[in-house]
Structure 1
Amino acid sequence: MDGSDDKRLDDTLIALRRILRATELYERELAQAAGLTPAKLRVLQILSGRKEGNATPTAMANQMGVRQATVTALVDQLENRGMVRRERSSTDRRQTHVVIAPAGVEALRSAPSALQQHFVANYQKLEAWEQQMILSVLNRVALMLNAADIEAAPVLTIGDIRQDRGRG
């Protein structure tokens, strides 16, 4: 590798680090402002965005692209903090619905704008070919990092979204 190759490699690694760092900083800001992790915030957002005001854990898992066990762990943690509650379905007693509680609504209100909301707003301004290029490059980077088979939700967070890590 010559000097320009070294510089390009360093610039690429710096760009990756900036993405990771932005995610870390957002998590810290969210934890301080609302006492939540990005994954828990996403659960509250899903519930508040539903016309009926509730969702089954299965529906949330499908929407988030994670296993139901992951959503169950997140809901358990939110329920322990009084931000959501579980209710039996009135039409099918075997089903449980998760409902956002007033404390969850307040946490949503006090939360800073989600990092992925900034990304989505800017991403949607791009032409379709630019969006496809970004997707292709990021998928290639995931392959290069041996991360292509790691379960991941469309939530910009560091680590396993089921883990509380002491931050809410």
Structure 2
Amino acid sequence: MDKSQDALVLLRQIIRATDMQDKEISRCTGLTLPQLMIMQTLRMSAPLSTGELAKEITLTQATVTSILDRLEKKNLISRERGTEDKRKVWVNLTQEGLELIKGAPTPQQDLFSRRFDDMQGWEQSMVISALERVAFMLDAQHLDAAPMLDIGQLDRPDTGLKK
């Protein structure tokens, strides 16, 4: 097998691992990865405003609002309008939401971040450089992307596998 085939196999392994984890999260929780990430962020830092939450997980406020709508319908989060500033909406986990994420699998980007942070600075730079080159080779450098290993649209409806 030539080197380009080796590279394509590695890319496919990354894509498959991401897809498999997406299915595992959905099977265990009934949530998408972005929904789980929002809930985990709220678990650590709630209450947060919608804007603060969007900045924290590097998604647009519109995307976060769409995801929050779905989580609220499932009674996993609650939103409360601010008392001093009525424009601010504060988001919290409900008890049901807290219980759900206690048993959720650890997202791959958490494992990746820990392992990446353990690398030497020069190794980190090499990985970033190689990934930038791959993104360029796939003509993907212009695509907007959040720092999460997930496929598809981030504010897509959940699969509803677990209710």
Fold-level similarity (TM above 0.5): yes
Paired letter, 2:5: D
8 A Cα contact 1:65 1:152, kept in partner: no
TM-score norm. by structure 2 comes to: 0.93
Note if 1:115 corresponds to 2:124.
no
Q: Offset at 1:12? A: 0.1
Secondary structure of 1:139's aligned partner: helix
Q: Offset at 1:90? A: 2.5
Note if 1:32 corresponds to 2:27.
yes
Note if 1:154 corresponds to 2:147.
yes
User: Cα deviation per residue 1:35-60 (whole Å; 9 max; x = unaligned)?
Assistant: 1111001100111111xx21111112
Residue matched to 1:44: 39
Note if 1:81 corresponds to 2:70.
no
Q: How many residues align?
A: 161
Unaligned runs of 5+ in 1: 1-5
Secondary structure of 1:99's aligned partner: strand
Note if 1:13 corresponds to 2:28.
no
Q: Offset at 1:166? A: 2.4
Secondary structure of 2:13's aligned partner: helix
Q: Offset at 1:97? A: 0.9
User: Cα deviation per residue 1:102-146 (whole Å; 9 max; x = unaligned)?
Assistant: 121112112111111111121111001111111111122112212
Paired letter, 1:135: I
Paired letter, 2:31: L
Paired letter, 2:71: L
Secondary structure of 2:90's aligned partner: strand
Q: Offset at 1:77? A: 0.7
Percentage of pairs with the same residue: 34
Q: Offset at 1:34? A: 1.0
Taking the TM superposition and a 5 Å limit, the aligned residue runs for 1:133-148 are: 133-148=126-141
8 A Cα contact 1:86 1:96, kept in partner: yes
Taking the TM superposition and a 5 Å limit, the aligned residue runs for 1:57-96 are: 57-96=50-89
TM-score norm. by structure 1 comes to: 0.90
Unaligned runs of 5+ in 2: none
8 A Cα contact 1:40 1:78, kept in partner: yes
Paired letter, 1:41: L
8 A Cα contact 1:37 1:167, kept in partner: no
